[in-house]
Amino acid sequence: MTNELKGKVNYSVNGNIAILEVDNPPVNPLSSGVRAGLAEFIEKANSDDSIKGIILTGAGRSFIAGADISEFGKSFDGPDLNSTLRDIEFSKKPVIAAINGTALGGGLETALVCNYRMGTNKAIVGLPEVNLGLLPGAGGTQRLPRLVGPSQALKMMLSGAPLSAEKALTSGILDAISENSLIEDAIEFLQDKIELSEHPKVRDKNEKVLEARGSENVLAEAKALAAKTRRGQFAPGQIIACVEAAINEDDFDAGLKKESEYFLECLMNPQREAMIHIFFGERAASKISDIPKDTPLMSINSAGIVGSGTMGGGIAMNLANAGIPVLVLDQDEKNLERGMGVIEKNYQMMVDRGRMSEEQKEKVFGLITPTLSYEDLANVDIVVEAVYENLELKQEIFKTLDSVTNNNTILASNTSGLDIDALASVTERPGKVVGTHFFSPANVMRLLEVVRGKDSSDETMATVMSLGKRMGKAAVVSLNAPGFIGNRMLAGYTYQANMLLLEGALPSQVDNALESFGMSMGPFRMLDLVGLDLGWRARKLANIETPLANKISDELCERDRFGQKNSRGFYNYSEGSRAPNPAPENEEIYKEISEKNNIKRREISDQEIIDRCILALVNEGARILEEGVAQRSGDMDIVYINGYGFPIWRGGPMFYANQLGLKEVIKKMDVFSELDKEFWKPAPLLQKLSDQSASFGEAPPVGERSELLSFKQANMGGV
Ligand code: 3HC
């Protein structure tokens, strides 16, 4: 093996058993050195007469986390994966996979070419390639259906969701679970099999695929599942086509050949690059560029929430699901009771849908305790304030928390836009104050904006980011600036949607265009969901004249159309339904308002709708990046995919702009500037990168670019 290869395999012998241990920290992907090591040591074990069986296992916490994702789209060194797996599958000596942790993607595919599979009770197996715009391309689409049946294999491959050891055992992926020492148990297992003249190979197990032959049901169900859960994605159709081959091809190798062809098509598809950008982008976002990697983390073993409303309840569930006991405080007993009731109902719904057992529900719900007294929060490690958006109220709460909790407690606010420094300033511990902006419903949405105040300490930031990961969130750091990252970008997007309505488009056209682009919900359906009256009431209260873009929605409110909450807004809704129906009675209003404001309505193309709304995100994103409010352009992609329904397969708005080419972005904006010169002025960073024929990823890291801004200095651009 040469030094340039990445990762290695350790070889040792225990009696008559060779042990191959994949060693490529931290999670043992099948990088070049691992593939080379496996090929070399399978050969070595096979040519050593004293060896009668082989154990394949992983060092550390993972078995094998799959193919090395960083190799995709590049040329690679060492043997290819399929030939390495062939060496294992046709080993003369029996091979057992001793699965010590995660066996994902190519990791599970490696285990599937072994004759036997044993896991610890912490083992996790799955084929998550679909999340990367790929299909299992090392035989997984042909072998898994043979082991668990095509229907379950399709569910696993289309969802990408892994199975626990227990489920892997019942579904036939594992032959046994080790309760003690995995390697000792694997040796014992192999000793029992050594004398057998033949050892089972998954490729030969045809019963389950033959059973499905001739029936359309399995594939039809899979297509329906893919259409529902993976709208617009390329890989799911390819996965289904592979399984169709597994069912219908008589020759196993013919199925494998099809899998390779379909895999290559996924690999060449732009969706793969976009989704892998998101995989690495999420991991990059979890790091704070100017905070040392070894910053000590505070341990978070208990938490408090102030406010038992929808947000407070959702956040409490996140913490409890991560195993952290939570005290939920509300000063109103009735609210508290109601809040706890909603939490229990949410958990019950998960039980009813089969997502959680009754036992698990008891366990997590048991971690959430209601309280009416601030004194009970004295010794918790973190408190998240989640009351409604009112600075004075939040400042009062922070003062109280500062006096009742011990000095080490982190004080976090779930504000969606208030000044974190103004909250920190009323405490004696500004270093321990931070924003944690969860998205609603907090127990479902993955995005967490972690807002860095001017005094938030490195330790506080690193601890909250790590807590985000523990809760399964996609955590992104934002500087403490108006709208943070997500809502600031959203403002321009919604502004354009509203202007398109004034210029001649109908809500359904705008929504349909953006939903076909891949957004999970168009802007007018979203506005109806949020409630049109919020802005209208706020403007009335503050005596602010309605801005042009809001003239239509305010007029709808004047006519008692508030959105879903009273079954009419931009759309009409039937009682108890969220499905939007056309509201032709609104069309006269749209015409009237356009006319009153001297706007000539015209035919607007779907492409113009998409370009104006999405490029509004991009231009504001460029300003956010330039100001250092976001650390990197990929962070904004993570925000938009996890918090605002942007299609993952397009890689987020900034990645989308890169793929379009920044020169093309500027060209399109130039055309729109005829409509609104100020709005479509390119952000200086966008212009600069375009002039240099560069892209957003190539922008220098924050710190070199500009001084970090304070809340008040931040420029809201054209929003
Ligand atoms: N290839 C390359 N690097 C990988 C990797 C992989 N398969 N899996 C993880 N890494 C890297 C991460 O980028 C991260 O790097 P960093 O420290 O520089 O940021 C590091 O390993 C640790 O990863 P996580 O932070 O994600 O560690 P966790 O402990 O939170 O999670 C995990 C571990 C569950 C294994 C998670 O990393 C994961 O889901 N990995 C990807 C699994 C996957 O998708 N496998 C399929 C790959 S495609 C394939 O196999 C194709 C085949 O069919 C041919």
Q: Ligand 1 mean position to 649 CA, how many Å?
A: 18
Protein residue with least CA distance to atom 26, ligand 1? 283
Residue bearing the CA closest to ligand 1, atom 10: 27
Ligand 1 centre to CA of 29 (Å) is 7
| Rounded distance between C-alpha atoms, residue 368 and residue 329, angstroms | 10
Decide whether any atom of ligand 1 lies within 6 Å of the 70 Cβ: yes
| Atom in ligand 1 nearest the alpha carbon of residue 66 | 50
The answer to whether 208 and 106 are in contact (CB under 8 A) is no
Q: What is the C-alpha separation between 529 and 523, in angstroms, rounded?
A: 10
CA 27 to centroid of ligand 1, rounded, Å? 7
Q: Could you tell me if the CB of 136 is within 6 A of ligand 1?
A: yes
- What is the spatial distance between Cα 468 and Cα 448, in angstroms, rounded to a whole number? 7
Q: Tell me the C-alpha distance between 398 and 393, whole Å.
A: 9
- Nearest ligand 1 atom to alpha carbon 102: 35
- Counting atoms of ligand 1 from 1, which one is nearest the CA of 286? 19
pLDDT for 122 equals 95
pLDDT of 699 > 70? The answer is: no
Mean pLDDT of the chain: 95
| Residue 715 confidence (pLDDT) above 50 | no
Alpha helices in 269-303 (DSSP H): 270-285
Which residue has a Cα nearest atom 11 of ligand 1?
Answer: 27
Query: Averaged over 3-15, what is the pLDDT?
Result: 92
Is ligand 1 within 6 A of the CB of residue 239?
Answer: no
- Closest approach atom of ligand 1 to CA 70: 2
Does the C-beta of 686 come closer than 6 Å to ligand 1?
A: no
Dihedral, CA atoms, 568, 313, 464, 712, nearest 10 degrees? Answer: 40
Neighbours of 293 (CB within 10 A): 7
Ligand 1: distance of its center to the CA of 23 in Å? Answer: 14
DSSP letters along 449-507, please?
EEEE-SS--HHHHHHHHHHHHHTT-EEEEEES-TTTTHHHHHHHHHHHHHHHHHHT--H
User: Ligand 1 centroid to 548 CA: how many Å?
Assistant: 48
* pLDDT tens-place string over residues 51-74: 999 999 999 999 999 999 999 988
Please give the positions annotated as active site: 109, 129
Query: Which residues touch 506 (CB under 8 Å, ≥6 apart)?
Result: 587, 590
Residue 65 to residue 68: CA distance in whole angstroms: 8
Q: Which residue puts its alpha carbon closest to atom 42 of ligand 1?
A: 65
Q: Contacts by 586-590 with C-beta closer than 8 Å and gap 24+?
A: 586/507, 586/556, 586/561, 587/506, 589/552, 589/555, 589/556, 589/559, 590/501, 590/502, 590/506, 590/552
Average pLDDT over residues 546-574: 96
Measure the CA–CA gap between 443 and 439, rounded to whole angstroms.
9
pLDDT at 1 over 60: no
Q: What is the pLDDT of residue 704?
A: 47
Check if 276 has its Cβ closer than 6 Å to any atom of ligand 1: no
pLDDT of res. 58? 98
Judge if pTM exceeds 0.85. yes
Q: Is there an atom of ligand 1 within 6 Å of 134 CB?
A: yes
Q: Who's near 251: CB < 8 A, 6+ residues apart?
A: none
Nearest atom in ligand 1 to the alpha carbon of residue 135 is: 53
- Residue 133's alpha-carbon distances to 70, 80, 130, 544, in angstroms, are 14, 20, 5, 47
Task: Tell me what percent of the residues of the chain surpass a pLDDT of 70.
Answer: 97
**Ligand 1 mean position, distance from CA 162 (Å):** 14
**Is residue 343's pLDDT more than 60?**
yes
Bridging pattern class, strands 368-371 and 17-23: unpaired
Cα 88 from chain centroid? Answer: 34
Strands 62-64 and 17-23: unpaired
What's the confidence (pLDDT) of residue 700? 59
User: Is the CB of residue 615 less than 8 Å from the CB of residue 668?
Assistant: yes
Structure confidence at residue 710 (pLDDT): 44
Q: Give the distance (Å) from ligand 1 centre to CA of residue 230.
A: 21
Say if strands 17-23 and 53-58 run parallel, antiparallel, or are unpaired: parallel
Share of the chain above pLDDT 90, in %: 92
Mind listing the pLDDT tens digit for each residue in 466-494? 999 999 999 999 999 999 999 999 999 99
Quick: pLDDT tens for 363-414: 999 999 999 999 999 999 999 999 999 999 999 999 999 999 999 999 999 9
Contact 233, 269 (CB under 8 A): no
**Confidence category of residue 77, pLDDT binned at 50, 70, 90:** confident
Could you tell me the distance, in angstroms and rounded to a whole number, from the CA of residue 279 to the centre of ligand 1?
A: 8
How far is the centre of ligand 1, averaged over its atoms, from the C-alpha of 65 (Å)?
6
For residue range 402-438, what is the model confidence (pLDDT) as tens digits?
A: 999 999 999 999 999 899 999 999 999 999 999 999 9
**What is the number of the ligand 1 atom nearest to the C-alpha of 287?**
19
Distant-in-sequence, close-in-space partners of 334: CB < 8 Å, separation ≥ 6: none
Residue 510: what are its φ and ψ, rounded to 5°?
-65, -50
Q: Which residue of 69, 239, 263 sits with most ligand 1 atoms within 8 Å of its CB, as the best mutation to test the pocket?
A: 69
pLDDT, residue 70, reads 94
Question: Taking phi first (over 0 means left), then psi (-120 to 50 degrees means alpha), and beta for anything else, what does residue 717 get?
Answer: left
In angstroms, how far is the first alpha carbon of the chain from the final one? 57
pLDDT category of residue 173 using cuts at 50, 70 and 90: very high
Res 707 pLDDT > 80? no
Q: Is the CB of 68 under 6 A from ligand 1?
A: yes
Ligand 1 atom 20 nearest Cα: 26
Going by pLDDT thresholds of 50, 70 and 90, the confidence category of residue 576 is confident
pLDDT of residue 701: 53
| Element housing 81 (H / E) | helix 81-89
> 67 in ligand 1 pocket by Cβ < 6 Å?
yes
Atom of ligand 1 nearest to the CA of 62: 35
Ligand 1 centroid distance, CA of 470 (Å): 16
CA 378, CA 361: separation in Å to the nearest integer?
A: 27
Decide if 678 contacts 302 (C-beta within 8 A): no
Q: Which atom of ligand 1 is nearest to the CA of 283?
A: 19
Q: Would you say the CB of residue 27 lies under 6 angstroms from ligand 1?
A: yes
Given a contact cutoff of 8 angstroms between Cβ atoms, the answer to whether 562 and 533 are in contact is yes
Helices 551-558 and 533-542 cross at an angle (nearest 10°) of: 90
Query: Which amino acid belongs to residue 86?
Result: R
Structure tokens, 495? 């502004």
Q: Whose CA is nearest to atom 23 of ligand 1?
A: 27
**Predicted pLDDT of residue 75:** 81
Contacts 24+ apart (CB under 8 A), 252-261: 252/142, 252/203, 252/204, 255/141, 255/142, 256/82, 256/139, 256/142, 259/135, 259/136, 259/137, 259/139, 259/141, 259/142, 260/82, 260/137
66 lines ligand 1 (CB under 6 A): yes
Region 593-600 average pLDDT: 97
Query: Is residue 215 over pLDDT 90?
Result: no
Is the C-beta atom of 102 inside 6 A of ligand 1?
yes
Give the integer Cα–Cα distance in Å for 556 and 462.
46
Closest ligand 1 atom to Cα of 131: 44
Using a 6 Å cutoff on CB, does residue 430 contact ligand 1? no
pLDDT band (50, 70, 90) for residue 575: confident
Taking CA atoms only, the protein residue closest to ligand 1 atom 24 is 283
**Confidence category of residue 705, pLDDT binned at 50, 70, 90:** very low
Q: How large is the average pLDDT for residues 659-681?
A: 97
With bands split at pLDDT 50, 70 and 90, how would you rate the model's confidence at 702?
low
CA of 102 to the centre of ligand 1 (A): 10
Helix and strand element counts for the chain (H, E): 29, 18
Among 99, 104, 96, 110, residue whose Cα is nearest residue 38: 110
Mutate to test the pocket of ligand 1, among 6, 27, 263 (most ligand atoms within 8 A of CB): 27
Cβ 104 under 6 angstroms from ligand 1: yes
Whole-number pLDDT of residue 76:
82
Nearest CA to ligand 1 atom 8: 65
Q: Is the pLDDT of residue 626 over 70?
A: yes
User: What are residue 55's DSSP bridge partners?
Assistant: 19, 96
Residue 712 reports pLDDT greater than 80: no
Q: Other C-beta atoms within 10 Å of 206: how many? A: 13
